[in-house]
């Protein structure tokens, strides 16, 4: 999804966004991308990156870049949620958006460098396999949770239908040989 700023400098700044939800990253170092149309760079003095560690309750100015740069390098100091908003300073010194607290959040990123722990128990009853699992993860990415079965001697992975959660259970039929 792309967002364009509106107002006196409409069309100057385009941000590449993940989506309206939080994007999970397993690395602490990444770039917040910024793209200004080359013909409009003269109208912008600098681009500012604001970061919030408390989901928008407070914002801190993190860094500044020139309008010809393509992004903000960022290094997360801890695991957790980071919200980002970008503003521009025009050639007259005015900031857009004027109030970062009322601005749209451009990216929401959860940094999670620790590996999840998972205990998985399986029991076969006839041609049905019963699963229970119990996981621990401080910042779970349940939207991308999946389970697959790989039958010994094959390369194919068979997806198992589950309801994502740190704890759960389910069952599935054994695949035919």
**pLDDT tens track for 140-151:** 888 888 888 777
pLDDT for the residue 4? 33
Q: CATH code at 98?
A: 2.60.40.10
- Report yes or no on whether pTM surpasses 0.75: no
Same domain, yes or no: 157 and 94: no
Same domain, yes or no: 88 and 145: no
Same domain, yes or no: 97 and 26: yes
| Count of structural domains, the chain | 2
Same domain, yes or no: 107 and 41: yes
Residue that has been written with the tokens 């700023």 in this structure:
5
**pLDDT tens track for 67-124:** 989 899 999 999 999 999 999 999 999 999 999 999 989 999 999 998 888 898 888 8
Give the structural domain span for 7: 2-111
pLDDT for the residue 17? 33
pLDDT for the residue 177? 62
pLDDT for the residue 66? 93
């Amino acid at each position: 999804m792309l967002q364009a700023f509106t107002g006196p400098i409409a069309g100057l700044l385009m941000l590449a966004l993940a989506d309206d939800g939080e994007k999970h990253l397993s690395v602490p170092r990444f770039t917040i991308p910024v793209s200004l149309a080359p013909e409009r760079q003269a109208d912008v003095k600098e681009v500012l990156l604001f970061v919030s560690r408390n989901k928008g309750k407070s914002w801190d100015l993190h860094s500044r870049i020139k309008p010809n740069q393509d992004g903000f390098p960022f290094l997360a100091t801890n695991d957790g949620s980071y919200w980002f908003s970008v503003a521009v300073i025009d050639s007259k010194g005015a900031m857009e958006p004027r109030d970062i607290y009322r601005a749209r959040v451009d990216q929401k990123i959860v940094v999670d460098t620790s590996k999840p722990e998972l205990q998985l128990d399986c029991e076969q009853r006839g041609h049905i396999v019963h699963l229970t699992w119990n996981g621990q993860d401080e910042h779970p990415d349940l939207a991308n949770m999946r389970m697959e079965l790989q039958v010994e001697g094959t390369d194919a992975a068979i997806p198992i239908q589950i309801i994502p959660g740190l704890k759960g259970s389910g069952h599935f039929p054994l695949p035919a040989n």
